[in-house]
Amino acid sequence: MTLHTRFFKIIRVRPQLLPIFMLLIAIPAQAAFTPPPRLLSSAEQYPPAKSITAMTAAAQNDFFAAISQLCGQAFTGKLAVDTSGSDRFADAQLLMHVRECSDTQIKIPFYVGEDASRTWILTKTGGGLLLKHDHRHKDGSHDDLTLYGGHTQQLGSAHTQVFPVDVFTQELFIELGYPQSLTNIWEMFIYSDTFTYRLTRAGFEFKVEFDLTQPVVNTRTPWGHR
Average pLDDT over residues 194-221: 97
The hierarchical CATH code for the domain 57-211 is: 2.40.128
pLDDT tens string 59-80: 999 999 999 999 999 999 999 9
Query: DSSP class of residue 127?
Result: S
Write the burial class of residue 31 (CB in 10 Å: 0-12 exposed, 13-18 middle, 19+ buried). Answer: exposed
The residues facing 216 across adjacent strands are: 74
- Cα separation, 226 vs 222, in Å, equals 8
CB 156 within 8 A of CB 147: no
**Domain boundaries in the chain?**
3-33, 57-211
Q: What is the CA radius of gyration of the chain?
A: 33
The pTM for the full model equals 0.80
Write the burial class of residue 178 (CB in 10 Å: 0-12 exposed, 13-18 middle, 19+ buried). Answer: middle
pLDDT higher than threshold 70 for residue 32:
no
Specify the DSSP element, H or E, that contains 96.
strand 94-97
pLDDT higher than threshold 80 for residue 3:
no
Q: What is the dihedral of CA 10, 11, 17, 19, to 10 degrees?
A: 140
Residue 105 CB contacts under 8 Å (≥ 6 apart), including other chains: 121, 122, 123, 124
pLDDT tens string 151-180: 999 999 999 999 999 999 999 999 999 999
What pLDDT, on the 0 to 100 scale, is given for residue 6? 65
- Cα separation, 171 vs 129, in Å, equals 20
Q: How do strand 148-151 and strand 129-135 relate by DSSP bridges?
A: antiparallel
Average pLDDT over residues 192-205: 97
